[in-house]
Protein backbone atom coordinates (compact mmCIF):
# COMPACT_ATOMS: atom_id res chain seq x y z
CA UNK A 1 0.00 0.00 0.00
CA UNK A 2 1.24 3.47 -0.78
CA UNK A 3 0.20 6.85 0.58
CA UNK A 4 0.24 9.92 -1.64
CA UNK A 5 -0.40 13.49 -0.61
CA UNK A 6 -0.50 15.24 -3.98
CA UNK A 7 -2.71 15.07 -7.02
CA UNK A 8 0.06 14.44 -9.58
CA UNK A 9 1.22 11.27 -7.76
CA UNK A 10 -2.37 10.09 -7.46
CA UNK A 11 -3.05 10.70 -11.15
CA UNK A 12 0.03 8.84 -12.34
CA UNK A 13 -0.78 5.82 -10.14
CA UNK A 14 -4.37 5.86 -11.45
CA UNK A 15 -3.23 6.02 -15.06
CA UNK A 16 -0.90 3.03 -14.52
CA UNK A 17 -3.85 1.03 -13.16
CA UNK A 18 -5.92 2.07 -16.16
CA UNK A 19 -3.19 1.00 -18.59
CA UNK A 20 -3.33 -2.42 -16.96
CA UNK A 21 -7.11 -2.50 -17.42
CA UNK A 22 -7.76 -2.49 -13.67
CA UNK A 23 -11.05 -1.39 -12.13
CA UNK A 24 -10.77 1.11 -9.30
CA UNK A 25 -12.88 1.37 -6.17
CA UNK A 26 -12.98 4.46 -3.95
CA UNK A 27 -13.82 4.74 -0.26
CA UNK A 28 -13.93 8.45 0.65
CA UNK A 29 -13.38 9.04 4.39
CA UNK A 30 -12.31 11.69 6.84
CA UNK A 31 -10.03 9.20 8.58
CA UNK A 32 -10.02 8.10 12.23
CA UNK A 33 -11.13 4.79 10.85
CA UNK A 34 -13.33 2.29 12.69
CA UNK A 35 -14.87 -1.04 11.67
CA UNK A 36 -17.61 0.79 9.72
CA UNK A 37 -15.04 2.38 7.41
CA UNK A 38 -13.23 -0.92 6.90
CA UNK A 39 -16.53 -2.45 5.81
CA UNK A 40 -16.58 0.04 2.91
CA UNK A 41 -13.41 -1.61 1.62
CA UNK A 42 -14.90 -5.09 2.03
CA UNK A 43 -17.95 -3.98 0.05
CA UNK A 44 -15.79 -2.56 -2.74
CA UNK A 45 -13.52 -5.59 -3.09
CA UNK A 46 -15.76 -7.74 -5.36
CA UNK A 47 -16.33 -4.79 -7.70
CA UNK A 48 -12.74 -3.74 -8.41
CA UNK A 49 -9.08 -4.72 -8.71
CA UNK A 50 -7.60 -1.77 -6.82
CA UNK A 51 -8.92 0.10 -3.79
CA UNK A 52 -8.23 3.76 -3.08
CA UNK A 53 -9.16 5.24 0.29
CA UNK A 54 -9.13 9.00 0.67
CA UNK A 55 -8.51 10.53 4.07
CA UNK A 56 -9.38 14.19 4.15
CA UNK A 57 -11.06 16.21 6.89
CA UNK A 58 -12.89 18.50 4.53
CA UNK A 59 -13.06 22.07 5.86
CA UNK A 60 -15.87 23.12 3.50
CA UNK A 61 -18.41 20.77 5.09
CA UNK A 62 -17.94 22.17 8.62
CA UNK A 63 -19.55 25.39 9.87
CA UNK A 64 -17.34 27.79 11.83
CA UNK A 65 -18.75 26.60 15.21
CA UNK A 66 -18.39 22.88 14.38
CA UNK A 67 -15.63 20.40 15.23
CA UNK A 68 -13.30 20.83 12.23
CA UNK A 69 -10.37 21.84 14.48
CA UNK A 70 -10.86 19.01 16.97
CA UNK A 71 -11.89 16.27 14.51
CA UNK A 72 -9.54 13.34 15.28
CA UNK A 73 -6.68 13.06 12.79
CA UNK A 74 -4.96 9.68 13.12
CA UNK A 75 -3.25 9.07 9.78
CA UNK A 76 -0.61 6.61 11.02
CA UNK A 77 -3.10 4.37 12.81
CA UNK A 78 -5.42 4.61 9.78
CA UNK A 79 -2.64 3.54 7.43
CA UNK A 80 -2.02 0.39 9.49
CA UNK A 81 -5.72 -0.52 9.44
CA UNK A 82 -6.01 0.16 5.72
CA UNK A 83 -2.96 -1.90 4.87
CA UNK A 84 -4.42 -4.84 6.82
CA UNK A 85 -7.77 -4.34 5.06
CA UNK A 86 -6.16 -4.65 1.62
CA UNK A 87 -6.22 -1.02 0.54
CA UNK A 88 -3.86 -0.25 -2.36
CA UNK A 89 -3.52 3.52 -2.15
CA UNK A 90 -4.29 6.13 0.49
CA UNK A 91 -4.87 9.63 -0.81
CA UNK A 92 -4.30 12.06 2.06
CA UNK A 93 -4.05 15.59 0.69
CA UNK A 94 -3.77 18.78 2.74
CA UNK A 95 -6.57 21.36 2.39
CA UNK A 96 -4.15 23.48 0.41
CA UNK A 97 -3.56 20.71 -2.11
CA UNK A 98 -7.20 19.68 -2.30
CA UNK A 99 -8.48 23.21 -2.84
CA UNK A 100 -5.53 24.54 -4.87
CA UNK A 101 -4.62 27.10 -2.26
CA UNK A 102 -8.07 28.46 -1.47
CA UNK A 103 -10.84 26.59 0.31
CA UNK A 104 -13.16 29.41 -0.65
CA UNK A 105 -13.00 28.37 -4.29
CA UNK A 106 -15.68 29.76 -6.56
CA UNK A 107 -17.23 26.51 -7.72
CA UNK A 108 -19.64 24.60 -5.49
CA UNK A 109 -21.79 21.57 -6.24
CA UNK A 110 -25.37 21.93 -5.03
CA UNK A 111 -27.93 19.14 -5.02
CA UNK A 112 -31.10 21.17 -4.77
CA UNK A 113 -34.10 19.90 -2.74
CA UNK A 114 -31.99 17.46 -0.79
CA UNK A 115 -29.52 19.73 0.92
CA UNK A 116 -31.70 21.88 3.15
CA UNK A 117 -33.80 19.29 4.93
CA UNK A 118 -33.01 16.87 7.78
CA UNK A 119 -29.31 17.40 8.67
CA UNK A 120 -29.05 20.19 6.10
CA UNK A 121 -31.58 22.31 8.01
CA UNK A 122 -29.29 22.66 11.01
CA UNK A 123 -26.01 22.41 9.05
CA UNK A 124 -26.41 25.00 6.27
CA UNK A 125 -23.78 24.54 3.56
CA UNK A 126 -22.71 21.13 4.88
CA UNK A 127 -23.96 19.13 1.91
CA UNK A 128 -22.55 21.63 -0.60
CA UNK A 129 -19.18 20.98 1.01
CA UNK A 130 -19.72 17.22 0.81
CA UNK A 131 -20.97 17.25 -2.81
CA UNK A 132 -18.11 19.53 -3.88
CA UNK A 133 -15.33 17.49 -2.28
CA UNK A 134 -16.77 14.17 -3.48
CA UNK A 135 -17.05 15.56 -7.05
CA UNK A 136 -13.40 16.55 -6.83
CA UNK A 137 -12.46 13.08 -5.55
CA UNK A 138 -14.49 11.49 -8.36
CA UNK A 139 -12.62 13.61 -10.92
CA UNK A 140 -9.22 12.90 -9.38
CA UNK A 141 -9.59 9.16 -8.76
CA UNK A 142 -12.03 8.39 -11.60
CA UNK A 143 -13.24 5.28 -9.81
CA UNK A 144 -15.50 2.68 -11.39
CA UNK A 145 -17.25 2.22 -8.08
CA UNK A 146 -17.47 4.23 -4.86
CA UNK A 147 -18.85 3.15 -1.51
CA UNK A 148 -20.62 5.21 1.17
CA UNK A 149 -22.14 4.20 4.49
CA UNK A 150 -25.88 4.05 5.13
CA UNK A 151 -25.50 5.75 8.51
CA UNK A 152 -25.21 9.01 6.55
CA UNK A 153 -28.36 8.20 4.60
CA UNK A 154 -28.97 11.76 3.41
CA UNK A 155 -25.38 12.03 2.20
CA UNK A 156 -25.74 8.72 0.35
CA UNK A 157 -29.01 9.81 -1.34
CA UNK A 158 -27.61 13.16 -2.30
CA UNK A 159 -24.40 11.67 -3.73
CA UNK A 160 -26.40 9.12 -5.74
CA UNK A 161 -28.43 12.01 -7.18
CA UNK A 162 -25.28 14.01 -7.90
CA UNK A 163 -23.65 11.03 -9.65
CA UNK A 164 -26.72 10.65 -11.84
CA UNK A 165 -27.19 14.35 -12.57
CA UNK A 166 -23.52 15.03 -13.38
CA UNK A 167 -23.09 11.84 -15.43
CA UNK A 168 -20.23 10.44 -13.38
CA UNK A 169 -19.72 6.93 -14.81
CA UNK A 170 -19.50 5.51 -11.30
CA UNK A 171 -21.52 2.84 -9.54
CA UNK A 172 -22.45 3.86 -6.01
CA UNK A 173 -22.51 0.99 -3.56
CA UNK A 174 -23.88 1.42 -0.05
CA UNK A 175 -22.71 -0.24 3.12
CA UNK A 176 -25.00 -1.05 6.08
CA UNK A 177 -24.39 0.76 9.36
CA UNK A 178 -21.89 -0.97 11.61
CA UNK A 179 -23.01 -1.02 15.26
CA UNK A 180 -21.46 -1.50 18.66
CA UNK A 181 -22.76 -4.49 20.69
CA UNK A 182 -25.35 -2.24 22.40
CA UNK A 183 -26.68 -0.92 19.08
CA UNK A 184 -24.94 2.46 18.93
CA UNK A 185 -23.99 3.25 15.34
CA UNK A 186 -20.22 3.43 14.94
CA UNK A 187 -18.97 6.97 14.43
CA UNK A 188 -15.69 8.78 14.90
CA UNK A 189 -17.66 11.26 17.02
CA UNK A 190 -18.64 8.60 19.62
CA UNK A 191 -15.28 9.18 21.28
CA UNK A 192 -16.40 12.69 22.23
CA UNK A 193 -19.03 11.15 24.58
CA UNK A 194 -18.36 11.09 28.33
CA UNK A 195 -18.70 7.61 29.95
CA UNK A 196 -22.14 8.59 31.23
CA UNK A 197 -23.26 9.89 27.81
CA UNK A 198 -21.88 6.76 26.15
CA UNK A 199 -24.15 4.66 28.39
CA UNK A 200 -27.19 6.68 27.35
CA UNK A 201 -26.32 6.90 23.64
CA UNK A 202 -27.86 3.52 22.52
CA UNK A 203 -31.27 5.00 23.38
CA UNK A 204 -31.09 6.67 19.97
CA UNK A 205 -31.18 3.32 18.16
CA UNK A 206 -33.74 1.87 20.59
CA UNK A 207 -36.07 4.79 19.84
CA UNK A 208 -35.67 4.23 16.09
CA UNK A 209 -36.52 0.56 16.61
CA UNK A 210 -39.55 1.44 18.76
CA UNK A 211 -40.94 3.73 16.05
CA UNK A 212 -40.22 1.14 13.35
CA UNK A 213 -42.14 -1.46 15.37
CA UNK A 214 -45.07 0.94 15.77
CA UNK A 215 -45.14 1.45 11.99
CA UNK A 216 -44.91 -2.29 11.34
CA UNK A 217 -47.85 -2.76 13.71
CA UNK A 218 -49.90 -0.46 11.47
CA UNK A 219 -49.48 2.99 12.99
CA UNK A 220 -49.52 5.51 10.11
CA UNK A 221 -49.71 8.69 12.15
CA UNK A 222 -46.12 9.59 11.38
CA UNK A 223 -46.22 13.14 12.74
CA UNK A 224 -47.51 11.79 16.08
CA UNK A 225 -44.77 9.13 16.15
CA UNK A 226 -42.14 11.80 15.43
CA UNK A 227 -43.42 13.90 18.34
CA UNK A 228 -43.51 10.86 20.64
CA UNK A 229 -39.93 9.86 19.71
CA UNK A 230 -38.65 13.41 20.21
CA UNK A 231 -40.32 13.46 23.64
CA UNK A 232 -38.71 10.14 24.64
CA UNK A 233 -35.26 11.31 23.58
CA UNK A 234 -35.55 14.72 25.19
CA UNK A 235 -36.64 13.04 28.45
CA UNK A 236 -33.47 10.92 28.33
CA UNK A 237 -31.24 13.97 28.12
CA UNK A 238 -30.86 14.30 24.34
CA UNK A 239 -31.51 17.57 22.56
CA UNK A 240 -33.25 16.35 19.44
CA UNK A 241 -32.44 18.16 16.25
CA UNK A 242 -35.00 16.16 14.24
CA UNK A 243 -36.76 12.84 14.36
CA UNK A 244 -38.21 12.26 10.94
CA UNK A 245 -40.26 9.59 9.23
CA UNK A 246 -39.57 10.35 5.61
CA UNK A 247 -39.90 8.96 2.12
CA UNK A 248 -36.61 7.07 1.67
CA UNK A 249 -36.46 8.08 -2.00
CA UNK A 250 -37.16 11.82 -1.74
CA UNK A 251 -36.35 12.44 1.97
CA UNK A 252 -39.58 14.47 2.18
CA UNK A 253 -41.96 13.81 5.11
CA UNK A 254 -43.66 10.43 4.60
CA UNK A 255 -47.38 10.18 3.99
CA UNK A 256 -49.55 7.24 4.97
CA UNK A 257 -49.22 5.89 1.40
CA UNK A 258 -45.40 6.10 1.23
CA UNK A 259 -43.96 2.62 0.85
CA UNK A 260 -40.18 3.08 1.28
CA UNK A 261 -39.67 4.69 4.66
CA UNK A 262 -36.67 6.26 6.30
CA UNK A 263 -36.81 6.73 10.06
CA UNK A 264 -33.98 9.14 10.81
CA UNK A 265 -32.76 11.02 13.83
CA UNK A 266 -30.14 13.60 14.76
CA UNK A 267 -29.71 14.53 18.40
CA UNK A 268 -27.16 16.06 20.67
CA UNK A 269 -25.88 14.39 23.80
CA UNK A 270 -23.91 17.07 25.60
CA UNK A 271 -21.87 18.67 22.85
CA UNK A 272 -21.84 15.57 20.60
CA UNK A 273 -24.17 15.43 17.63
CA UNK A 274 -25.20 11.86 16.79
CA UNK A 275 -27.16 10.63 13.79
CA UNK A 276 -28.75 7.29 13.00
CA UNK A 277 -31.52 5.83 10.86
CA UNK A 278 -33.47 2.75 9.84
CA UNK A 279 -35.21 2.01 6.58
CA UNK A 280 -38.28 -0.12 6.12
CA UNK A 281 -40.67 -1.13 3.45
CA UNK A 282 -44.30 -0.43 4.19
CA UNK A 283 -45.90 -2.52 1.46
CA UNK A 284 -49.39 -2.66 2.99
CA UNK A 285 -49.76 1.14 3.15
Instruction: Say how far apart CA 45 and CA 158 lie, in whole Å.
Output: 23
133 scored as a contact of ligand PAF (CB under 6 A):
yes
197 scored as a contact of ligand PAF (CB under 6 A):
no
44 scored as a contact of ligand PAF (CB under 6 A):
no
**Can 34 be counted among the known catalytic residues?**
no
Q: Are strands 260-269 and 272-281 parallel, antiparallel or unpaired?
A: antiparallel
Which of 58, 22, 37 is closest to 142 using CA atoms?
A: 22
Given the residues 5, 37, 65, 102, the one annotated as active site? 37
* Given 14, 26, 30, 87, the residue binding ligand PAF (CB under 6 A): 30
Which of 101, 125, 117, 156 is closest to 279 using CA atoms?
A: 156
Q: Count of residues binding ligand PAF (CB under 6 A)?
A: 10
Assign residue 165 a region: left if phi > 0, alpha if psi is -120 to 50, beta otherwise? alpha
Instruction: Say how far apart CA 285 and CA 283 lie, in whole Å.
Output: 6
58 scored as a contact of ligand PAF (CB under 6 A):
yes
Q: What is the chain's percent helix, strand, coil content, to nearest 5?
A: 40, 20, 40
141 scored as a contact of ligand PAF (CB under 6 A):
no
275 scored as a contact of ligand PAF (CB under 6 A):
no
Which of 43, 48, 2 is closest to 25 using CA atoms?
A: 48
Subset of residues 147 to 186 that bind ligand PAF, contact rule: CB under 6 A: 152, 155
Q: Select the span of 25-33, 83-91, 102-110, 267-275 touching ligand PAF (CB under 6 A).
A: 25-33
109 scored as a contact of ligand PAF (CB under 6 A):
no
Enumerate the active-site residues. Answer: 37
Question: Under the rule (CB under 6 A), what is the footprint of ligand PAF?
Answer: 28-30, 58, 61, 130, 133-134, 152, 155
Amino acid sequence: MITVHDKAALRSWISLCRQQGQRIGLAPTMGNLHAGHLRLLEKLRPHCDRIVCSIFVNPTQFAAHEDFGSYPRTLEADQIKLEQAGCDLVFAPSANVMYNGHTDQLTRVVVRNMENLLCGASRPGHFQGVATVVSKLFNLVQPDVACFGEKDFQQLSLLRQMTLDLDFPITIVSCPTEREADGLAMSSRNQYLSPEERQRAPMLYRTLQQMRDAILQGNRDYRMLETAATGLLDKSGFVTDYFSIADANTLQPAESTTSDLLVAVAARLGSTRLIDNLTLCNKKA
